[in-house]
Structure 1
């Protein structure tokens, strides 16, 4: 069952419940039955009390519903006929009120949301935006959704649960005005078209020119295609930072992050001696983002490069397209593309061969377009590679998908990821924890760099760089036998909370290796984003993606020496990497979390708790 299946049971205000009951026809049925009962009692009363004929009694009963209460005074009418008279009056008046409320509810509700509430605006209608909207409702948030898509089933689902939906041009400023979009707490621009999302962002920026904002609106833009990266960087310079606190979202990257959150790449390896060997089966958008995310985070003290094998029936074409967009990826990891159809004997033979070779996989991610085919591929691997963690992309929250979750004892290395509800919700889209860590990293940087820019003035690239550093904290802590948990998760039976002094004592003998790891991670992030190395006597050029620190750890000494001579003061880039590691405790603490040591932890590894 979807985690949104019970959303209609969530607490709603009385007017919403009332209108919902009307829309389901319960009020209409009740009113009709009550009117029929009133009519029958009226006919009986007029006939028995005044000796009217059936026709006359029926006529006088109907007149009561038209607010005509011409009941004879003599003989005195019985109590039940008086009650019937006022009951008819009540039915008529309540019906008028019902009709008015029902016809005006949308407008009234819309007015109160936009003028008297803090609300969240979503632009775009698809499975992912619907999932996010429903999750926001579960957290008692008011949601407005603007769409050009007239998908009646999705729209009715949203309206039924309390989302205000407007259909029209998503770049129409008249609709922005109608929605009072400047009052939004958050804006999520969430169509599946990068160009449409950028159009909406620019139109919103123009609309907000004459609006007074107390603070920039937290704005999230869905953006996938790296080919348009230069375009969005230029647009980012043009849109006002007074209007937006901008963040880019890639739903496929979210899926990859969820995969490695469920089962980290480092769990089955010795971080001192080796790196992971990742197998990706299926190289669509999710498969590609799994490779990129792994290339960003798979950096460990062994200093060995990540190995990646990609299997796809169209490997040659896909690899060419991938290398065209990421020409420096081989500086980050070793990649091999293999062309296999997973339904063939050749594929099964490859699995048998890999089992007996020294080049075994340590992690498998299956992300085919067909859920059933993905499962069959996983079961093929399970017969030969039972101990290897195997993630299966399953978008639909089907009964069979839940069966996998419930049988994890037999298939303990088999797990699913990529479910729409799991990757498109408040936690993963607004992602407050990741941003808290990223902002804490930047705040600590500002304390030592007075000329630094505040978070809202940073480019999307620099913000992403801080988030990437935050993503690697778990790997560094794991190497120390630690982990970070939210304050509410701390349990004395499960964890020992670590203080700053204890953290520093555990770090002292491993600081240098983790500093080298951090430098390699920083290099990888920049290479993936197209940065190349320049000599240390040249200046950093973010416009053309050039940086003199994109070098080996050992060569940083020379870079530091040259830059010190140019600047006229001492610069030590190795020390900056050491500080990045030493500040982990303060970063986690500033984000409101704790660093703990699990009770059953051995150094560098621990069981799931």
Structure 2
């Protein structure tokens, strides 16, 4: 670890993109030097041949050309003004001092020359070049260059000030006319990443913030983003934003209570109005989601359906989802998860913040394989007791689907290697508050356990983390995760690629069943359930010993639907049981519990109380089917049978995996 402490790039306290900009400026600097040498050479050649312009002006212009490359380091927004100002001051002072006519009082003084040069910027030129007053004066070339440069400087500055003052109003008016803009409420690291992505794709963005100090006005101005301070009168604010013509209204406050407050105000404003708006509501905590469900239910009872579709998201959950999609839990343990008698997977978390907790939730919902024992999760944190209380407050039924352990642990004083040796995990997730500590612990652990998959949470991209991530020779099982940019982009966050797949599968499945059930008519829970089922589809293929291949490859061994059904016949019962366990875990992690009074005329499900009669073991499900007279087990078997159609819908054929 000591050698890493002195890596040279750690002294560079600037983002990776800034380094490339600096490199670009340096390269442009040298190009400008070459061009200036050529221009100065040409200027002096003309003077040498014609003795025009004057020797002094040639020297002055040469000085100006000499300092021009330095202007490349001026902020881009002010480059033109600085360029013109410098040219006007140099040529103006030279002209007034050296080319003014002498009077009985003597030559024009340097102080007067400076004063007259400054007056050029108020569009006034002192006549010290002709013995008589009048407008028809032939000014020297130096003064012509100076006064026009000064006038251009003044005009450019006035226009820039006017644009800074009125530009947002002009843009906002354009947004009202064109519509389809994105309104982001709350400015923080999350929203900043999303804004960057949207602007790169040319989207029109308005940012609303409660705190004027938190807004990086210059940064957002350069991106072309409209910034507006929030107001108590939400109705007036929403009218100002042309809300009904906007495409998305995205609530990204760090505080869930602020987001919930905003959604209540928004729905109240849009009540009895028509709008094409879509709303994305970010909520950190499970309790907040349950409260939102109560708000929605109350509104539905009193006013009918929400006037606009609202999608709830958790950015930390999205990061966890992407991590486990890119690096499935079964990777490196394929034989183990296919052996019913093997031990379960065991995940060790060092630190257990919001992202780490969501990784644990995703793992609990995905880690359903042939071994019957439940997933094991061990949490090491110096605030283990507090985190344990917080975890069970959010997920009170987590023990039904996972074995959880919380142990006080201080990474600064205790050896992580010893903890790994004690618990023998299959995966390690290092989620400390400090990126550098995460990285150092991960690298040190990798040297001791090179075959152990290690995941390092990094909040910000750095050279060394990228190097570790791409150095597959020495760190082939070390992976970094946790960048907001990975998920807060248009494809993943706005368009939701996974949701599109789940929606497509749902639509096609409804067509097969000859049932009309629109995706938007589904509850948030059912839409999320479909997405969750898609996340587990590749795991089922692994357990069935199948591979997916793209249709355009036209694989010679691809299975037909009939061949697929024949192939899975002897495995379908085990897979259906796994699917039922996965479905149970999904509901238990959302605070659902078993409904006992399921005999007719009672329903097997109570959405308001979050109770379901099927939240029992596979063996006990027979009794539920008998009492309710519903073939619930057959639904799970159908999920396995429909895998063929699912992959067909999203562009894949299935082939039997060849034994190695």
Q: TM-score, normalised by structure 1?
A: 0.80
| 8 Å contact kept, 2:439–2:465 | no
- Name the SS for the 2:224 alignment partner: coil
| Structure of larger gyration radius | 2
SS of the aligned residue for 1:551 comes to coil
Partner of residue 591 from structure 2, selected from 520, 523, 530: 530
Residue of structure 2 in register with 1:394 after alignment: 458
Q: Does 2:580 match 1:511?
A: no
Residues 394 and 418 of structure 1 are in contact (CA less than 8 Å); yes or no, is this contact kept in structure 2?
Answer: yes
The separation in 1 between residues aligned to 2:284 and 2:322, in whole angstroms, is 17
Q: Are the counterparts in 1 of residues 99 and 140 from structure 2 also a CA contact under 8 Å?
A: no
Deviations 1:152-204 (A, max 9, x none): 56343222212111122477332221111222211110001111001101111
- The change in CA–CA distance for 1:419 and 1:77 in structure 2 (over 3 A counts) is closer
CA RMSD of aligned residues (A): 4.2
Report 1:320-359 matches (<5 A): 320-345=389-414, 348-354=417-423
Q: How does 1:151-190 map to 2 (within 5 A)?
A: 151=213, 154-169=216-231, 172-190=234-252
Question: Which SS does the other structure have where 1:244 is aligned?
Answer: coil
Displacement after TM superposition at 1:323 (Å) = 2.5
Per-residue deviation, residues 394-453 of structure 1 (Å, max 9, x unmatched): 112123322322333201111111123224333342252111122224324544677765
Distance in 1 between the 2:121 and 2:326 partners?
A: 70
Instruction: Give the conservation status (yes or no) of the 8 Å contact 1:282–1:367.
Output: yes
Which residue in the other structure is 2:255 paired with? 193
Match of 1:438 in 2: 502
Question: 1:580 Cα shift?
Answer: 1.9
Structure 2 partner of 1:18: none
Distance 2:137 2:533 in 1: 88
Matching residue of 1:271: 337
Distance 1:36 1:353, change over 3 A: closer
Conserved 8 A contact 1:390-1:413: yes
Q: Is the 8 A contact 2:88 2:146 kept in 1?
A: no
Q: What corresponds to 1:555 in structure 2?
A: 620
Equivalent residue in structure 1 for 2:203, among 129, 136, 141: 141
Q: Is the 8 A contact 1:327 1:530 kept in 2?
A: yes
**Matched-pair contact (CA < 8 Å) for 2:274–2:307:** no
Is it true that 1:295 corresponds to 2:364 in the alignment?
yes
The offset of 1:147, in angstroms, is 0.6
1:226 aligns with 2:286: yes
Residue segments in structure 2 that go unaligned for 5+ positions in a row: 1-13, 23-73
Contact 2:92 2:142 in 1 (8 A): no
The reply on whether 1:577 has 2:636 as its aligned counterpart is: yes
Partner of 2:83: 30
Which residues in structure 2 correspond to 1:195-594 (within 5 Å)?
195-209=257-271, 211-213=273-275, 215=276, 217-237=277-297, 238=299, 241=305, 243-269=307-333, 270-273=336-339, 274=342, 275-345=344-414, 348-354=417-423, 360-444=424-508, 446-447=510-511, 453-480=517-544, 504=565, 507-535=568-596, 536-537=598-599, 538-539=602-603, 540-564=605-629, 571-590=630-649, 592-594=650-652
Q: Conserved in 2, the CA contact under 8 Å of 1:7 and 1:134?
A: no
Q: 1:170 to 1:43 in 2, by over 3 A?
A: same
Q: Aligned partners of 1:72 and 1:40: how far apart in 2?
A: 21
Contact 1:311 1:338 in 2 (8 A): yes
Write out per-residue CA displacement over residues 471-515 of structure 1, whole angstroms, 9 at most, x where no aligned residue.
Answer: 212222333455668x8xx88599998775675565454333322
By how many angstroms is 1:42 displaced?
A: 8.1
The offset of 1:297, in angstroms, is: 0.8
Task: Give the length in aligned residue pairs.
Answer: 574
Cα offset for 1:235? 1.4
Q: CA deviation at 1:233?
A: 0.8
Q: State whether residues 392 and 416 of structure 1, in contact with CA within 8 Å, keep that contact through their aligned partners in structure 2.
A: yes
In the alignment, the residues of structure 1 paired with residue 278 and residue 546 of structure 2 have an alpha-carbon distance, to the nearest angstrom, of: 33
Residue in 1 aligned with 2:28? none
Q: 1:93 to 1:75 in 2, by over 3 A?
A: closer
Output the CA distance in 2 between the equivalents of 1:586 and 1:453: 18
| Higher mean C-alpha displacement, 234-243 vs 172-181 | 234-243
Larger displacement relative to structure 2 (199-208 or 555-564): 555-564
Relative contact order higher in (CA < 8 Å, ≥ 6 apart): 1
Report if the CA contact (8 A) 2:350-2:431 is conserved. yes
Compared CA separation, residues 198 and 483, structure 1 to 2 (3 A): farther
Alignment partners' CA distance in 2, 1:74 and 1:257: 75
Q: Does the CA contact (< 8 Å) of 2:123 and 2:151 recur in 1?
A: no
Are the structure 2 counterparts of residues 223 and 7 from structure 1 closer, same or farther at C-alpha, using a change threshold of 3 Å?
farther
Does the CA contact (< 8 Å) of 1:22 and 1:28 recur in 2?
A: no
**Contact 1:8 1:161 (C-alpha < 8 Å) held by counterparts:** no
Q: Deviations over 1:515-542 (max 9, x none)?
A: 2221111011111112222344141111
Matches within 5 A, 1:122-133: 122-133=184-195
Q: Secondary structure at the match of 1:176?
A: helix
Scaled by the length of structure 2, the TM-score of the pair is 0.75
CA contact (8 A) 2:537 2:643 kept: yes
Alignment-derived partner of residue 567 in structure 1? none
CA contact (8 A) 1:308 1:336 kept: yes
Q: What is the CA distance between 1:276 and its match in structure 2?
A: 1.6
Identify which range, 523-532 or 266-275, moves more after superposition.
266-275
Q: Is the 8 A contact 1:146 1:170 kept in 2?
A: no
Contact 1:300/1:517 (8 A) holds in 2: yes
Q: Bigger shift: 550-559 or 262-271?
A: 550-559
Aligned to 1:16: none
Higher alpha-carbon deviation: 88-97 or 299-308: 88-97
Match for residue 12 of structure 1?
none
Q: CA deviation at 1:470?
A: 1.9
Q: State the distance in 1 between where 2:205 and 2:264 align.
A: 22
Label 1:334 to 1:6 Cα distance change in 2 as closer, same or farther (>3 A). Answer: same
Q: Does the residue aligned with 1:220 lie in a helix, a strand or coil?
A: strand
CA shift in 2, pair 1:302/1:602, >3 Å: farther
C-alpha distance 223-332 of structure 1, shift in aligned 2 (>3 A): same
Equivalence for 1:65: 123
Q: How far apart, in 2, do the equivalents of 1:482 and 1:595 lie?
A: 10
